[in-house]
Each structure stands twice: as C-alpha cells, then as structure tokens.
Amino acid sequence: MFIKSVFNMLFFTVIFMTCSEKEKTLQEENIINITEPKTPLKNATKTFFVGMAVRANRLEDGSEYDKIIKREYESITAEYEMKMNVILPSKGNYNWSNADKIVDYAIANGLNVHGHALIWHESTPEWLENYSGTDEEFEQEIKEYITNVLQRYKGKVTSWDVINEGVNNSGGTLRNTVFRQRMGDDYMAKCLQFARDADPNAMLFYNDYGMCTNISKQNKVFDLVADWKNRNIPIDGIGYQMHISYLKPIRQQIEIATDRAIASDLLLHYSELDIRTNPNNDITVLTEERAIAQKLKYKEVVQIYNSIPTKNQYALTIWGMKDDDSWLLPHHNNDNEWPLLYDKSFDFKKAHTGFLEGLN
C-alpha cells in the first residue's frame, strides 16, 4: 500500500513536471493551453443534445474524429451530404451513399440525427434550378424528393430542416428562390406538409442565420410561423444557425431572439454554432486574449440555451470539429480564423472549456 502510494506520488510528480514544461513551451509558442478540462460535453448536459456537423469520410472507426464524436456528442448533422445537390444531382438519380453512411454511423453508435437541409437555395441541383417542365411538374418533383428522403430515413432521422434560409436579409421579404418562383409564396407551407405526410413523427424545422441581429428577418420568420400555426401547417421548431463572432450579437440580442422562439411555443435549435475570433481580420495568430474572448462568448451562448425551458430545448449543434476544418475559412478566403472548440491538432481550446462552463 505504502509502496503503491509512493509510486503514485513519484509517477504523478514526473507527469506533472513533464506536462507543465510542455505547457510552458506551448504557451511561449502561443499555442493553445493544453490544461483545459476534458469533461465530455455530453456528460455535462441532461436536457438537450450536444451536436456536431460531420462528413461521411471522417467517420472511420478509430479515427480521431470518430473518437471525439463518440466521447463528446449525442447528435450529428451532415455538414453537406444530406443536401439536395448531393442526394439528387440529376433527375431520377438518387445518390444515398454518404447520407446512408452518416445515418448508419449514428445508429451504430446510438446518436441522434438532425437532417439538414431539404430546401436550400444554395444546394439546389442544376437540373432543378433550370427546370424545363411546368410549375406543376416542378412541384411534383419536390414533393417526391421530400417524400423519398423522409421515408428512407423514417425512424432514423429525428428532425429535419425543411426550409433553410428562406427569408431575405433586408426588407423582411421571401427570398426569391426557384422554389418560390415555381411553387408560389406558400411553397414553405407546402414543403412542411409534404414532410409531415411522409414521416408524421419527424420534427420539422425552419432554419436561418442572422436571427438575433436582423430584426426584419426575425419579424418575417415569426410572421410565417404564426401564419403556419393558424392554418395548422406543421412546424415544430426553429433553428438559429448561430454563425456569430466574439463581438456580436451581444447577450441581450441573443436573449431577446431566444425569448421570441420560446413565446411562439416552438422547439429552438441553435443549429450551426461557430464563433469567429477574427471578424475584423486584425490578428494572424489566435492570441490568448482573443481565445479568452471566444471562450466567454461560447459560455454566454451555452448559458442562454441551457437556461431556456426544457420543453423548448432540442439541441445545440456545433458546425465543425476543429478550427482548420471550418467552412468559414474557404467562405471568407482567410485561414486566420479559429471558430471551433478544437485546434488543428485536435487539442481542446479554451472555447471548449467555455462551452462546459456554460452548462454549469
């Protein structure tokens, strides 16, 4: 017993010294602190799913992504492989392979799947964008698509973003997509109904960005929701994408937008969370100061979500695993961005700790 204690003491002293030296070097090199707590996010929450955006080719058993997903998350969303241009690239030719891989992986590992996204103007396949048939035929194509997807994943995919980004950024008007042009102003209601008819148990969401800061968009979305509810059009939840930065939206804006979703009695999904550290392009390495600012923002967002009534909670999904994978780098054509919870070496960032602290 005594020998074991002495052994343990010596062992941990050596480990501690090695770690603190390594940490010092890393800090000197301005690399993220490695002493962040490693509590898995999913162990810290009981009332909603903590989700991750995934890609099929990163799910091989034993890969670093796989290990982290299994350790940290309870829900996954396909980052792009369940969008229409991937599943139905040409008329009649369904390509389910990557979507199936993602869903099968979830089932094998007991994870929830949130489906994303049935109707999105940025993932409309060419053949539908330039559809040569009549408007009635177009609508039939969309009905068939939604029906096929929902039926294939019935009982496997819990929820769907039926409409993604259907409202313009200014003027509170409907985005003039091919769906609106071909199916009329009420196309979202039609798609929601197609989805409900195909899988009555799937929870149906409207998903959009800028929901905390863009009040004309917020107003329009909640007008649509109220109208759908009045007409008994199925709508279960609303997704706030939460592509935000360490500077904005401020806490109050997030709270007001969140309260509005609660007042409408819908589920609320913070669906694509990432927090930019360099929106003004004023840093070339992730500084300690900026990493802390990001950590505090993660904490704030998670705290707000964690404090809403559990009946309105669904999931809080993070849009990517590690900084250098983020869609924001190519999107802004700038590699100097570190928006996620892990750094490029799969090390925990302060942001991860902020997320954990928000849950406490």
Residue 317 binds ligand XIL (CB under 6 A): no
| Site membership for ligand XIL, residue 323 (CB under 6 A) | no
Among residues 72, 74, 139, 165, which one is catalytic?
A: 165
Q: How far apart are the first and last CA of the chain?
A: 37
The closest residue (CB) to ligand XIL is: 327
Of 79, 90, 154, 148, give the one whose Cα is nearest residue 120.
79
Q: Is 79 a catalytic residue?
A: no
Measure the CA–CA gap between 72 and 45, rounded to whole angstroms: 11
Active site annotation includes 272: yes
CB neighbours of 334 closer than 8 A, spacing ≥ 6? 278, 281
Check residue 327 for interaction with ligand XIL (CB under 6 A).
yes
As a whole number of angstroms, the distance between CA 301 and CA 249 comes to 10
- What would the x/- binding string for ligand XIL be over residues 188 to 227, using CB under 6 A? ----------------------------------------
Regarding 241 and contact with ligand XIL (CB under 6 A), the answer is yes
Neighbours of 43 (CB within 10 A): 13
Q: Which is nearer to ligand XIL, 98 or 164 (CB)?
A: 164
In this complex, which beta carbon is closest to ligand XIL, that of residue 117 or of residue 198? 117
Q: Report helix, strand or coil for 339.
A: coil
In the chain, DSSP assigns E strands to 49-54, 75-78, 112-115, 119-120, 159-164, 203-208, 237-240, 243-245, 267-276, 313-318
The one catalytic residue in 81, 272, 300, 337 is 272
Neighbour tally for 255: CB within 10 Å: 16
Window 93-132: contact mask with ligand XIL (x via CB under 6 A): ------------------------x---------------
State which of residues 164, 245, 312, 313 lies at the interface with ligand XIL (CB under 6 A): 164
CB of 337 to ligand XIL, least distance (A): 13
One residue of 79, 141, 274, 357 binding ligand XIL per CB under 6 A: 79
Place of tokens 């008994």: 232
Does 80 participate in binding ligand XIL (rule CB under 6 A)? yes
DSSP one-letter string for 153-172: TTTT--EEEEEES-B-SSTT
Smallest separation (angstroms) from ligand XIL to the CB of 215: 20
Task: Provide, rounded to whole angstroms, the least separation between the CB of residue 219 and ligand XIL.
Answer: 21
Residue pair 44/359 in contact (Cβ under 8 Å)? The answer is: yes
Least CB distance to ligand XIL at residue 351 (A): 18
Q: How far is the CB of 83 from ligand XIL (least distance, A)?
A: 7
Q: Are 102 and 152 in contact (CB under 8 A)?
A: no
> Six-digit token pair at 160?
């769907």
Query: Given the rule CB under 6 A, which residues bind ligand XIL?
Result: 79-80, 117, 164, 241, 272, 327
The catalytic site residues sit at: 165, 272
